[in-house]
Chains A and B, each alone.
Chain A
Amino acid sequence: MSKKSNKKLHIICLAVFTVLLCAAVWLLGRITEPKYMSGVLEGAMTQEYYNEENSHDVIFVGDCEVYENFSPVTMWEEHGITSYIRGSAQQLIWQSYYLLEEVFERESPKVVVYNVQSMKYDAPQSEAYNRMTLDGMPLSKHKLDAIKASMTENEDMISYLIPFLRYHSRWSELTDEDFEYAFRRDSVTIAGYLMRADVEPMTKLPTAPVLDDYTIGDTCWEYLDKMQKLCDANGATLILIKSPSLWPHWYDQWDEQISDYAAEHGLDYINLLDVSDDIGIDMQTDTYDAGLHLNIYGAEKLSRYFADILAGRYGVPDRSEDETIAADWENKCNAYYELLAAQNAELEEYGYLKSWTLGDEK
Protein backbone atom coordinates (compact mmCIF):
# COMPACT_ATOMS: atom_id res chain seq x y z
CA MET A 1 0.00 0.00 0.00
CA SER A 2 1.37 3.43 -0.91
CA LYS A 3 2.17 6.02 1.74
CA LYS A 4 -0.56 8.28 0.33
CA SER A 5 -3.36 5.70 0.61
CA ASN A 6 -2.08 4.69 4.03
CA LYS A 7 -2.40 8.28 5.20
CA LYS A 8 -5.90 8.46 3.73
CA LEU A 9 -6.90 5.34 5.68
CA HIS A 10 -5.51 6.85 8.85
CA ILE A 11 -7.57 9.99 8.35
CA ILE A 12 -10.73 7.95 7.77
CA CYS A 13 -10.05 5.85 10.86
CA LEU A 14 -9.40 8.98 12.87
CA ALA A 15 -12.65 10.56 11.64
CA VAL A 16 -14.67 7.42 12.43
CA PHE A 17 -13.03 7.12 15.82
CA THR A 18 -13.74 10.77 16.63
CA VAL A 19 -17.38 10.45 15.57
CA LEU A 20 -17.80 7.29 17.67
CA LEU A 21 -16.14 8.95 20.64
CA CYS A 22 -18.42 11.99 20.38
CA ALA A 23 -21.46 9.75 20.02
CA ALA A 24 -20.39 7.73 23.06
CA VAL A 25 -19.83 10.85 25.17
CA TRP A 26 -23.21 12.23 24.04
CA LEU A 27 -24.97 8.96 24.76
CA LEU A 28 -23.36 8.63 28.18
CA GLY A 29 -24.32 12.21 28.90
CA ARG A 30 -27.95 11.43 28.08
CA ILE A 31 -27.90 8.45 30.39
CA THR A 32 -26.06 9.99 33.32
CA GLU A 33 -27.72 13.42 33.44
CA PRO A 34 -30.47 13.72 36.09
CA LYS A 35 -33.95 13.22 34.64
CA TYR A 36 -36.07 14.87 37.37
CA MET A 37 -39.00 12.59 36.57
CA SER A 38 -39.64 11.77 40.22
CA GLY A 39 -38.88 13.48 43.51
CA VAL A 40 -37.37 16.81 42.47
CA LEU A 41 -39.47 17.55 39.39
CA GLU A 42 -38.35 21.16 39.02
CA GLY A 43 -35.35 20.25 36.91
CA ALA A 44 -37.60 18.98 34.11
CA MET A 45 -39.57 22.18 33.73
CA THR A 46 -37.42 24.36 31.49
CA GLN A 47 -37.46 22.02 28.52
CA GLU A 48 -41.21 21.46 28.56
CA TYR A 49 -41.79 24.91 27.09
CA TYR A 50 -40.32 23.82 23.75
CA ASN A 51 -43.12 21.30 23.29
CA GLU A 52 -45.77 24.03 23.26
CA GLU A 53 -47.56 24.10 19.92
CA ASN A 54 -49.44 27.38 20.23
CA SER A 55 -48.38 30.83 21.28
CA HIS A 56 -49.28 32.54 24.56
CA ASP A 57 -50.49 36.04 25.34
CA VAL A 58 -48.97 36.03 28.80
CA ILE A 59 -45.60 34.69 29.89
CA PHE A 60 -44.59 34.43 33.53
CA VAL A 61 -40.93 34.31 34.50
CA GLY A 62 -39.45 33.83 37.93
CA ASP A 63 -38.89 31.32 40.68
CA CYS A 64 -41.14 28.90 42.56
CA GLU A 65 -43.42 31.79 43.45
CA VAL A 66 -44.73 31.72 39.89
CA TYR A 67 -44.72 28.06 38.94
CA GLU A 68 -46.33 26.96 42.20
CA ASN A 69 -48.70 29.88 42.67
CA PHE A 70 -50.34 30.54 39.30
CA SER A 71 -52.53 28.17 37.35
CA PRO A 72 -52.70 28.92 33.61
CA VAL A 73 -55.62 26.49 33.31
CA THR A 74 -57.67 28.60 35.73
CA MET A 75 -56.82 31.77 33.79
CA TRP A 76 -57.93 30.01 30.62
CA GLU A 77 -61.17 28.86 32.21
CA GLU A 78 -61.92 32.29 33.69
CA HIS A 79 -61.06 34.59 30.79
CA GLY A 80 -59.77 32.49 27.90
CA ILE A 81 -56.27 33.77 28.62
CA THR A 82 -53.42 31.80 27.10
CA SER A 83 -50.43 31.84 29.40
CA TYR A 84 -47.30 29.88 30.14
CA ILE A 85 -45.07 29.90 33.20
CA ARG A 86 -41.37 29.81 32.33
CA GLY A 87 -40.45 29.33 35.94
CA SER A 88 -37.77 27.26 37.59
CA ALA A 89 -36.41 26.68 41.07
CA GLN A 90 -34.50 29.71 42.37
CA GLN A 91 -34.58 31.26 38.91
CA LEU A 92 -32.30 34.28 39.09
CA ILE A 93 -33.14 37.48 37.24
CA TRP A 94 -30.49 37.00 34.55
CA GLN A 95 -31.87 33.52 33.90
CA SER A 96 -35.37 34.99 33.61
CA TYR A 97 -33.99 37.52 31.15
CA TYR A 98 -32.32 34.96 28.89
CA LEU A 99 -35.32 32.64 29.02
CA LEU A 100 -37.37 35.64 27.96
CA GLU A 101 -35.01 36.39 25.06
CA GLU A 102 -35.69 32.85 23.93
CA VAL A 103 -39.45 33.35 24.30
CA PHE A 104 -39.46 36.41 22.06
CA GLU A 105 -37.63 34.46 19.38
CA ARG A 106 -40.46 31.95 19.34
CA GLU A 107 -43.60 33.98 20.02
CA SER A 108 -44.97 37.44 20.76
CA PRO A 109 -46.65 37.59 24.16
CA LYS A 110 -48.59 40.75 24.97
CA VAL A 111 -47.74 40.67 28.65
CA VAL A 112 -44.70 39.45 30.58
CA VAL A 113 -45.08 38.95 34.32
CA TYR A 114 -41.91 38.91 36.40
CA ASN A 115 -41.95 37.94 40.08
CA VAL A 116 -39.44 40.16 41.89
CA GLN A 117 -38.63 37.79 44.77
CA SER A 118 -35.42 36.67 43.07
CA MET A 119 -34.04 40.22 43.08
CA LYS A 120 -32.79 39.46 46.56
CA TYR A 121 -29.94 37.62 44.82
CA ASP A 122 -27.35 39.73 43.05
CA ALA A 123 -24.87 36.94 42.36
CA PRO A 124 -24.92 33.29 41.28
CA GLN A 125 -26.04 31.08 44.16
CA SER A 126 -26.05 27.37 43.58
CA GLU A 127 -24.94 24.98 40.89
CA ALA A 128 -27.81 22.61 41.62
CA TYR A 129 -30.40 25.30 40.92
CA ASN A 130 -28.43 26.59 37.91
CA ARG A 131 -28.50 23.12 36.42
CA MET A 132 -32.22 22.73 36.95
CA THR A 133 -32.86 25.94 35.01
CA LEU A 134 -30.17 25.80 32.36
CA ASP A 135 -29.67 22.15 31.42
CA GLY A 136 -33.07 22.04 29.76
CA MET A 137 -32.35 24.94 27.39
CA PRO A 138 -31.34 23.96 23.86
CA LEU A 139 -27.91 25.15 22.76
CA SER A 140 -28.16 28.77 21.68
CA LYS A 141 -26.58 32.14 22.32
CA HIS A 142 -29.23 32.64 25.03
CA LYS A 143 -28.15 29.50 26.80
CA LEU A 144 -24.47 30.40 26.60
CA ASP A 145 -25.15 33.89 27.94
CA ALA A 146 -27.33 32.46 30.70
CA ILE A 147 -24.60 30.00 31.71
CA LYS A 148 -21.95 32.73 31.72
CA ALA A 149 -24.11 34.91 33.94
CA SER A 150 -25.07 32.06 36.26
CA MET A 151 -21.91 30.06 36.92
CA THR A 152 -20.70 29.88 40.51
CA GLU A 153 -16.98 29.86 41.27
CA ASN A 154 -16.44 26.14 40.83
CA GLU A 155 -18.43 25.71 37.64
CA ASP A 156 -17.21 25.74 34.07
CA MET A 157 -18.94 26.26 30.77
CA ILE A 158 -17.73 23.04 29.16
CA SER A 159 -19.58 20.84 31.63
CA TYR A 160 -22.86 22.51 30.66
CA LEU A 161 -22.16 21.78 27.02
CA ILE A 162 -20.97 18.22 27.58
CA PRO A 163 -23.17 16.92 30.42
CA PHE A 164 -21.15 13.71 30.78
CA LEU A 165 -18.25 15.76 32.12
CA ARG A 166 -20.45 16.87 35.02
CA TYR A 167 -22.58 13.82 35.59
CA HIS A 168 -20.23 10.89 34.95
CA SER A 169 -19.87 10.29 38.68
CA ARG A 170 -23.58 9.40 38.77
CA TRP A 171 -22.80 6.09 37.12
CA SER A 172 -23.11 4.27 40.41
CA GLU A 173 -26.46 5.93 41.21
CA LEU A 174 -28.15 5.18 37.88
CA THR A 175 -31.66 3.81 38.14
CA ASP A 176 -34.20 2.51 35.66
CA GLU A 177 -35.47 6.08 35.35
CA ASP A 178 -32.14 7.18 33.86
CA PHE A 179 -32.44 4.70 31.01
CA GLU A 180 -36.19 5.06 30.51
CA TYR A 181 -35.95 8.83 30.15
CA ALA A 182 -32.61 9.09 28.37
CA PHE A 183 -34.31 10.27 25.18
CA ARG A 184 -37.70 11.49 26.28
CA ARG A 185 -39.39 13.13 29.22
CA ASP A 186 -42.92 13.06 30.60
CA SER A 187 -44.57 16.40 31.31
CA VAL A 188 -44.35 17.38 34.95
CA THR A 189 -46.30 20.65 34.61
CA ILE A 190 -49.43 21.96 32.96
CA ALA A 191 -48.35 25.04 30.98
CA GLY A 192 -45.51 25.49 33.44
CA TYR A 193 -47.66 25.08 36.57
CA LEU A 194 -46.34 22.50 39.03
CA MET A 195 -49.41 21.21 40.82
CA ARG A 196 -49.60 20.27 44.48
CA ALA A 197 -52.95 19.24 45.92
CA ASP A 198 -51.83 18.55 49.48
CA VAL A 199 -52.35 20.87 52.41
CA GLU A 200 -49.97 21.78 55.21
CA PRO A 201 -51.35 24.70 57.18
CA MET A 202 -49.08 27.55 58.16
CA THR A 203 -48.20 27.54 61.84
CA LYS A 204 -45.46 30.00 62.63
CA LEU A 205 -42.93 31.55 60.29
CA PRO A 206 -39.31 32.01 61.34
CA THR A 207 -38.16 35.42 62.49
CA ALA A 208 -36.95 37.36 59.45
CA PRO A 209 -33.14 37.25 59.41
CA VAL A 210 -31.21 40.45 59.97
CA LEU A 211 -29.51 41.79 56.85
CA ASP A 212 -26.58 44.19 56.86
CA ASP A 213 -27.73 45.83 53.70
CA TYR A 214 -31.20 45.86 52.21
CA THR A 215 -30.09 47.44 48.95
CA ILE A 216 -31.06 45.45 45.87
CA GLY A 217 -27.90 44.80 43.87
CA ASP A 218 -26.78 46.58 40.71
CA THR A 219 -26.80 43.41 38.63
CA CYS A 220 -30.49 42.93 39.35
CA TRP A 221 -31.33 46.47 38.29
CA GLU A 222 -29.22 46.04 35.17
CA TYR A 223 -31.17 42.94 34.16
CA LEU A 224 -34.49 44.51 35.06
CA ASP A 225 -33.59 47.41 32.75
CA LYS A 226 -32.72 44.91 30.04
CA MET A 227 -35.94 43.01 30.61
CA GLN A 228 -37.99 46.17 30.21
CA LYS A 229 -36.10 47.12 27.04
CA LEU A 230 -36.59 43.63 25.65
CA CYS A 231 -40.33 43.78 26.33
CA ASP A 232 -40.58 47.29 24.87
CA ALA A 233 -38.71 46.23 21.74
CA ASN A 234 -41.13 43.36 21.29
CA GLY A 235 -44.28 45.32 22.06
CA ALA A 236 -44.98 43.51 25.33
CA THR A 237 -46.03 45.03 28.64
CA LEU A 238 -43.84 44.09 31.58
CA ILE A 239 -45.64 43.71 34.91
CA LEU A 240 -43.70 43.29 38.15
CA ILE A 241 -45.37 41.26 40.86
CA LYS A 242 -44.59 39.94 44.30
CA SER A 243 -46.39 36.66 44.72
CA PRO A 244 -48.30 36.20 48.01
CA SER A 245 -45.92 33.60 49.49
CA LEU A 246 -45.05 34.44 53.08
CA TRP A 247 -41.58 32.88 53.23
CA PRO A 248 -38.79 33.68 52.41
CA HIS A 249 -39.50 37.04 54.02
CA TRP A 250 -40.11 39.97 51.67
CA TYR A 251 -38.64 43.01 53.39
CA ASP A 252 -40.36 46.40 53.31
CA GLN A 253 -37.05 47.93 52.23
CA TRP A 254 -37.02 45.74 49.10
CA ASP A 255 -40.63 46.52 48.39
CA GLU A 256 -39.94 50.24 48.57
CA GLN A 257 -37.05 49.98 46.11
CA ILE A 258 -39.12 47.98 43.62
CA SER A 259 -42.02 50.43 43.96
CA ASP A 260 -39.68 53.37 43.34
CA TYR A 261 -38.11 51.68 40.33
CA ALA A 262 -41.50 50.85 38.86
CA ALA A 263 -42.70 54.42 39.32
CA GLU A 264 -39.54 55.83 37.72
CA HIS A 265 -39.73 53.48 34.76
CA GLY A 266 -43.45 53.61 34.11
CA LEU A 267 -43.98 49.99 35.12
CA ASP A 268 -46.79 48.49 37.15
CA TYR A 269 -45.73 46.74 40.34
CA ILE A 270 -48.40 44.66 42.03
CA ASN A 271 -47.53 43.40 45.49
CA LEU A 272 -49.99 40.55 45.86
CA LEU A 273 -49.01 40.08 49.50
CA ASP A 274 -50.90 43.29 50.22
CA VAL A 275 -54.10 41.92 48.71
CA SER A 276 -53.98 38.34 50.02
CA ASP A 277 -57.21 38.87 51.94
CA ASP A 278 -58.97 40.29 48.87
CA ILE A 279 -57.79 37.28 46.90
CA GLY A 280 -59.19 35.09 49.64
CA ILE A 281 -55.99 33.21 50.41
CA ASP A 282 -56.19 31.27 53.64
CA MET A 283 -52.83 29.88 54.71
CA GLN A 284 -54.61 27.19 56.70
CA THR A 285 -55.98 25.59 53.54
CA ASP A 286 -54.23 27.13 50.54
CA THR A 287 -50.59 26.15 51.07
CA TYR A 288 -48.90 22.76 50.90
CA ASP A 289 -45.79 23.71 52.83
CA ALA A 290 -46.85 26.02 55.64
CA GLY A 291 -46.80 29.32 53.79
CA LEU A 292 -43.98 29.03 51.26
CA HIS A 293 -46.01 27.98 48.26
CA LEU A 294 -49.67 27.82 47.41
CA ASN A 295 -51.33 24.52 46.71
CA ILE A 296 -53.79 24.17 43.85
CA TYR A 297 -56.60 25.70 45.90
CA GLY A 298 -54.56 28.81 46.63
CA ALA A 299 -53.17 28.95 43.08
CA GLU A 300 -56.67 28.87 41.63
CA LYS A 301 -57.80 31.73 43.88
CA LEU A 302 -54.75 33.78 42.95
CA SER A 303 -55.13 32.98 39.25
CA ARG A 304 -58.77 34.03 39.19
CA TYR A 305 -57.83 37.32 40.82
CA PHE A 306 -54.89 37.90 38.50
CA ALA A 307 -56.79 36.87 35.37
CA ASP A 308 -59.30 39.63 36.14
CA ILE A 309 -56.42 42.11 36.22
CA LEU A 310 -54.90 40.78 32.99
CA ALA A 311 -58.20 40.91 31.13
CA GLY A 312 -59.51 44.13 32.65
CA ARG A 313 -56.46 46.33 33.07
CA TYR A 314 -54.19 45.00 30.33
CA GLY A 315 -56.76 43.90 27.77
CA VAL A 316 -55.38 40.39 27.38
CA PRO A 317 -57.75 38.83 24.84
CA ASP A 318 -60.13 35.92 25.31
CA ARG A 319 -58.98 33.17 22.90
CA SER A 320 -61.69 30.68 23.74
CA GLU A 321 -63.37 31.17 20.34
CA ASP A 322 -60.24 30.13 18.47
CA GLU A 323 -60.77 26.43 17.70
CA THR A 324 -57.12 25.42 17.49
CA ILE A 325 -56.22 27.18 20.70
CA ALA A 326 -59.35 25.96 22.47
CA ALA A 327 -58.54 22.37 21.50
CA ASP A 328 -55.03 22.74 22.87
CA TRP A 329 -56.35 24.14 26.14
CA GLU A 330 -59.00 21.47 26.38
CA ASN A 331 -56.16 18.95 26.42
CA LYS A 332 -54.38 20.97 29.07
CA CYS A 333 -57.55 21.18 31.18
CA ASN A 334 -58.06 17.42 30.89
CA ALA A 335 -54.47 16.77 31.91
CA TYR A 336 -54.92 19.21 34.82
CA TYR A 337 -57.98 17.50 36.22
CA GLU A 338 -56.53 14.03 35.67
CA LEU A 339 -53.44 15.07 37.60
CA LEU A 340 -55.57 16.56 40.38
CA ALA A 341 -57.58 13.34 40.59
CA ALA A 342 -54.39 11.27 40.71
CA GLN A 343 -52.92 13.42 43.48
CA ASN A 344 -56.15 13.29 45.47
CA ALA A 345 -56.20 9.51 45.09
CA GLU A 346 -52.69 9.29 46.54
CA LEU A 347 -53.58 11.64 49.37
CA GLU A 348 -56.48 9.39 50.20
CA GLU A 349 -54.41 6.23 50.00
CA TYR A 350 -51.17 7.30 51.69
CA GLY A 351 -52.00 10.58 53.40
CA TYR A 352 -49.27 12.33 51.43
CA LEU A 353 -48.13 12.69 47.82
CA LYS A 354 -45.87 9.74 47.27
CA SER A 355 -45.24 10.12 43.53
CA TRP A 356 -44.75 13.89 43.45
CA THR A 357 -42.36 14.35 46.32
CA LEU A 358 -39.25 12.73 47.70
CA GLY A 359 -41.61 10.59 49.73
CA ASP A 360 -41.37 12.50 52.99
CA GLU A 361 -44.39 11.47 54.91
CA LYS A 362 -45.91 14.38 56.77
Chain B
Amino acid sequence: MKKFIAIILAVLCVFALCACGNDGGSSDNDANKTAEYKPDYGELYYASGDVKFGILDPAADVLSALGEPDSTFESNSCAYQGKDKFYYYDGFEILVNDVDGTERITGITVADDTVSNPQGVKIGMKIDEALALMDGIEYAQSGDTYKFTVGSTLFRIQAGDDGTVAAAEYSVAANDK
Protein backbone atom coordinates (compact mmCIF):
# COMPACT_ATOMS: atom_id res chain seq x y z
CA MET B 1 0.00 0.00 0.00
CA LYS B 2 2.68 2.48 1.03
CA LYS B 3 4.70 1.53 -2.02
CA PHE B 4 1.72 2.15 -4.26
CA ILE B 5 1.07 5.58 -2.77
CA ALA B 6 4.77 6.36 -3.05
CA ILE B 7 4.67 5.49 -6.74
CA ILE B 8 1.63 7.70 -7.29
CA LEU B 9 3.22 10.58 -5.43
CA ALA B 10 6.37 10.11 -7.46
CA VAL B 11 4.33 10.30 -10.66
CA LEU B 12 2.68 13.51 -9.44
CA CYS B 13 6.09 14.94 -8.60
CA VAL B 14 7.29 14.17 -12.13
CA PHE B 15 4.23 15.97 -13.51
CA ALA B 16 4.92 18.92 -11.27
CA LEU B 17 8.59 19.08 -12.20
CA CYS B 18 7.78 18.84 -15.89
CA ALA B 19 5.21 21.56 -15.49
CA CYS B 20 7.77 23.76 -13.79
CA GLY B 21 10.25 23.28 -16.61
CA ASN B 22 10.02 26.02 -19.19
CA ASP B 23 10.50 24.64 -22.66
CA GLY B 24 10.74 28.06 -24.26
CA GLY B 25 14.17 29.63 -24.55
CA SER B 26 14.79 33.04 -23.13
CA SER B 27 15.47 35.94 -25.42
CA ASP B 28 18.96 36.14 -23.96
CA ASN B 29 19.61 32.60 -25.08
CA ASP B 30 18.27 33.39 -28.53
CA ALA B 31 20.52 36.39 -28.73
CA ASN B 32 23.50 34.25 -27.70
CA LYS B 33 22.58 31.66 -30.31
CA THR B 34 22.66 34.35 -32.99
CA ALA B 35 25.88 35.82 -31.67
CA GLU B 36 27.58 32.41 -31.59
CA TYR B 37 26.38 31.49 -35.06
CA LYS B 38 29.09 30.41 -37.48
CA PRO B 39 28.03 29.68 -41.06
CA ASP B 40 29.02 26.24 -42.27
CA TYR B 41 28.10 26.54 -45.93
CA GLY B 42 31.65 27.14 -47.20
CA GLU B 43 31.40 28.02 -50.88
CA LEU B 44 27.71 27.17 -51.06
CA TYR B 45 26.47 30.67 -50.41
CA TYR B 46 24.56 33.07 -52.64
CA ALA B 47 25.44 36.64 -53.41
CA SER B 48 23.48 39.61 -54.64
CA GLY B 49 25.73 42.58 -55.26
CA ASP B 50 27.94 42.88 -52.21
CA VAL B 51 25.60 40.96 -49.97
CA LYS B 52 26.69 37.38 -49.38
CA PHE B 53 24.39 35.05 -47.50
CA GLY B 54 23.59 31.42 -47.09
CA ILE B 55 21.43 28.80 -45.47
CA LEU B 56 20.71 29.28 -41.75
CA ASP B 57 22.09 32.82 -41.71
CA PRO B 58 19.97 35.01 -39.41
CA ALA B 59 17.48 36.59 -41.77
CA ALA B 60 17.16 40.07 -40.30
CA ASP B 61 20.67 41.26 -41.25
CA VAL B 62 20.47 39.78 -44.74
CA LEU B 63 17.03 41.21 -45.50
CA SER B 64 18.12 44.57 -44.18
CA ALA B 65 21.23 44.53 -46.40
CA LEU B 66 19.26 43.46 -49.46
CA GLY B 67 16.73 46.24 -49.02
CA GLU B 68 13.03 46.25 -49.74
CA PRO B 69 11.93 43.09 -51.58
CA ASP B 70 9.82 43.36 -54.74
CA SER B 71 7.08 41.50 -52.88
CA THR B 72 6.51 38.89 -50.21
CA PHE B 73 4.38 35.80 -49.68
CA GLU B 74 3.49 33.81 -46.58
CA SER B 75 2.06 30.39 -46.01
CA ASN B 76 1.85 28.02 -43.08
CA SER B 77 5.01 26.03 -42.76
CA CYS B 78 5.16 22.26 -42.76
CA ALA B 79 8.83 21.96 -41.89
CA TYR B 80 9.05 24.63 -39.20
CA GLN B 81 6.95 26.36 -36.57
CA GLY B 82 4.94 29.26 -37.86
CA LYS B 83 5.06 30.59 -41.39
CA ASP B 84 7.08 30.10 -44.52
CA LYS B 85 8.00 33.67 -45.45
CA PHE B 86 9.09 34.26 -49.01
CA TYR B 87 10.89 37.44 -50.07
CA TYR B 88 11.13 38.12 -53.78
CA TYR B 89 14.07 40.02 -55.26
CA ASP B 90 15.15 40.49 -58.86
CA GLY B 91 15.98 36.99 -60.09
CA PHE B 92 15.93 35.18 -56.76
CA GLU B 93 13.71 34.34 -53.80
CA ILE B 94 14.55 33.87 -50.15
CA LEU B 95 12.61 31.63 -47.78
CA VAL B 96 12.72 32.49 -44.09
CA ASN B 97 11.55 30.36 -41.17
CA ASP B 98 11.62 30.41 -37.42
CA VAL B 99 14.39 27.97 -36.49
CA ASP B 100 14.51 27.45 -32.73
CA GLY B 101 13.29 30.95 -32.04
CA THR B 102 15.42 32.78 -34.60
CA GLU B 103 14.31 33.80 -38.09
CA ARG B 104 16.76 32.17 -40.43
CA ILE B 105 17.20 31.74 -44.15
CA THR B 106 16.08 28.23 -45.05
CA GLY B 107 15.85 28.52 -48.80
CA ILE B 108 17.28 30.53 -51.70
CA THR B 109 15.88 29.93 -55.17
CA VAL B 110 17.35 31.17 -58.40
CA ALA B 111 14.11 32.20 -60.05
CA ASP B 112 15.14 33.13 -63.59
CA ASP B 113 18.05 33.45 -65.99
CA THR B 114 18.85 37.06 -65.12
CA VAL B 115 21.08 36.05 -62.21
CA SER B 116 23.64 33.37 -61.47
CA ASN B 117 25.09 31.93 -58.30
CA PRO B 118 28.64 32.86 -57.22
CA GLN B 119 30.04 29.93 -59.23
CA GLY B 120 28.23 31.18 -62.32
CA VAL B 121 25.42 28.63 -62.50
CA LYS B 122 22.30 30.08 -64.08
CA ILE B 123 18.96 28.85 -65.36
CA GLY B 124 19.05 27.75 -68.99
CA MET B 125 22.75 26.88 -69.25
CA LYS B 126 23.83 23.36 -70.24
CA ILE B 127 23.86 21.07 -67.22
CA ASP B 128 27.42 19.89 -68.03
CA GLU B 129 28.56 23.46 -68.04
CA ALA B 130 26.91 24.03 -64.66
CA LEU B 131 28.53 20.94 -63.16
CA ALA B 132 31.90 22.11 -64.44
CA LEU B 133 31.40 25.48 -62.78
CA MET B 134 30.70 23.73 -59.47
CA ASP B 135 34.03 21.91 -59.81
CA GLY B 136 35.58 20.99 -56.51
CA ILE B 137 32.33 20.46 -54.64
CA GLU B 138 31.22 16.84 -54.57
CA TYR B 139 27.73 16.03 -55.70
CA ALA B 140 25.29 13.17 -55.77
CA GLN B 141 22.95 12.55 -58.67
CA SER B 142 19.36 11.47 -58.19
CA GLY B 143 17.55 11.21 -61.51
CA ASP B 144 17.71 14.64 -63.12
CA THR B 145 18.78 16.31 -59.89
CA TYR B 146 22.36 17.07 -58.87
CA LYS B 147 22.88 17.68 -55.15
CA PHE B 148 25.85 19.48 -53.64
CA THR B 149 26.10 19.41 -49.86
CA VAL B 150 28.37 21.45 -47.59
CA GLY B 151 27.62 21.62 -43.86
CA SER B 152 23.94 22.40 -43.38
CA THR B 153 23.46 23.52 -46.98
CA LEU B 154 22.15 21.58 -49.92
CA PHE B 155 22.46 23.16 -53.36
CA ARG B 156 20.33 21.44 -55.92
CA ILE B 157 20.40 21.77 -59.68
CA GLN B 158 17.69 20.15 -61.72
CA ALA B 159 18.11 19.38 -65.41
CA GLY B 160 15.19 19.87 -67.76
CA ASP B 161 14.28 17.61 -70.66
CA ASP B 162 16.54 19.61 -72.99
CA GLY B 163 19.61 19.05 -70.79
CA THR B 164 19.73 22.60 -69.48
CA VAL B 165 19.43 23.85 -65.90
CA ALA B 166 15.71 24.10 -65.16
CA ALA B 167 16.00 24.95 -61.47
CA ALA B 168 18.66 25.86 -58.94
CA GLU B 169 18.03 26.26 -55.23
CA TYR B 170 19.69 26.23 -51.85
CA SER B 171 17.98 24.57 -48.91
CA VAL B 172 18.59 23.03 -45.49
CA ALA B 173 20.30 19.68 -46.01
CA ALA B 174 18.52 18.15 -43.02
CA ASN B 175 15.15 18.77 -44.69
CA ASP B 176 16.13 16.69 -47.71
CA LYS B 177 14.07 13.54 -47.12
**Residues of A bordering B, CB below 8 Å:** 10, 14, 17-18, 21, 89-90, 123, 125-126, 128, 164-165, 168-169, 171-172, 203-207, 209-210, 212-213, 247-248, 289-290, 292
> Which 9 A-B residue pairings sit nearest by Cβ, starting from the closest?
A210-B158, A210-B167, A212-B142, A206-B86, A168-B19, A207-B109, A171-B19, A203-B71, A207-B111
Given contact pairs A206-B109, A210-B145, A210-B158, A10 touches B73 in the complex (Cβ within 8 A): no
Partner of A125, one of B8, B15, B78, B143: B78
**Residue-wise interface mask of B (71-97) relative to A, using a CB-CB cutoff of 8 A (1 in contact, 0 not):** 101111010010000101000010100
| B1 close to A (CB within 8 Å) | yes
Are A247 and B19 closer than 8 Å at their CB atoms?
A: no
A248 to B78, CA, bound (A): 11
In this complex, the interface size class of chain B, counting residues with CB under 8 Å from chain A, is: 35 or more
A14 and B1 contact, CB distance less than 8 A: yes
Question: Separation in Å of the A244 CB from the closest CB of chain B?
Answer: 16
CB < 8 Å neighbour of A203 from B73, B75, B143: B73
Would you give the shortest CB distance from B9 to chain A, in whole angstroms?
10
User: Is B5's CB within 8 Å of the partner chain A?
Assistant: yes
Complex Cα distance, B14 from A164, in Å, reads 12
The majority secondary structure among interface residues of chain B is strand
0/1 string, B129-162, CB within 8 A of A gives 1 = 0000000000000110101000000001010000
Q: Is the beta-carbon distance between B143 and A212 smaller than 8 angstroms?
A: yes
Q: How many angstroms from the CA of A190 to the CA of B51 in the assembled complex?
A: 50
The answer to whether A169 touches B142 (Cβ under 8 A) is: no
Q: B21 interface residue, CB < 8 Å from A? A: yes
Instruction: Pick the residue among A21, A164, A205 that contacts B73 (CB under 8 A).
Output: A205
Q: Is the CB of A289 within 8 A of B19?
A: no
A10 B1 Cβ-Cβ under 8 A: yes
Can you offer 12 A-B residue contacts whose CB atoms are under 8 A? Answer: A14-B1, A123-B177, A169-B21, A203-B73, A204-B71, A205-B73, A207-B93, A207-B167, A210-B156, A212-B176, A289-B74, A289-B75
Contact residue among A10, A123, A169 (Cβ-Cβ distance under 8 Å from B19): A169
Q: CA separation between A210 and B21, bound complex, in Å? A: 40
Question: Does A247 contact B75, Cβ atoms closer than 8 Å?
Answer: yes
- What 1/0 flags go to B47-78 for Cβ under 8 Å of A? 00000000000000000000000110111101
Given A14-B1, A209-B169, check contact A292 B75 (CB 8 Å).
Answer: yes
**Contact of B22 with A by CB under 8 A:** yes
Q: Write out the residue numbers on chain B whose beta carbons fall within 8 Å of the beta carbon of A210.
A: 145, 156, 158, 167, 169
CA distance A92 to B122 in the complex (A): 36
Q: Cα distance A168–B107 when bound, in Å?
A: 35
In the complex, B18 has a CB within 8 A of chain A: yes
A213→B78 CA distance, assembly (Å):
18
By a CB distance below 8 angstroms, the chain A residues around B75 are 247-248, 289, 292
**Other-chain residue from B8, B73, B143 in contact with A204 (beta carbon distance below 8 A):** B73
A123 to B78 Cα, complex, angstroms? 12
Q: Indicate the member of A18, A90, A126, A212 with the most B CB atoms within 10 Å.
A: A212
Chain A CB within 10 Å — which of B76, B95, B176 has the most?
Answer: B76
Which residues of the other chain, A, contact B73 by a CB distance below 8 angstroms?
A: 203-206, 247, 290
Tell me the bound Cα distance from A248 to B158 in angstroms. Answer: 19
Given known A207-B167, A209-B169, contact A164–B15 (CB-CB < 8 A)? yes
- Measured between alpha carbons, how far is A296 from B15 in the docked complex, in Å? 44
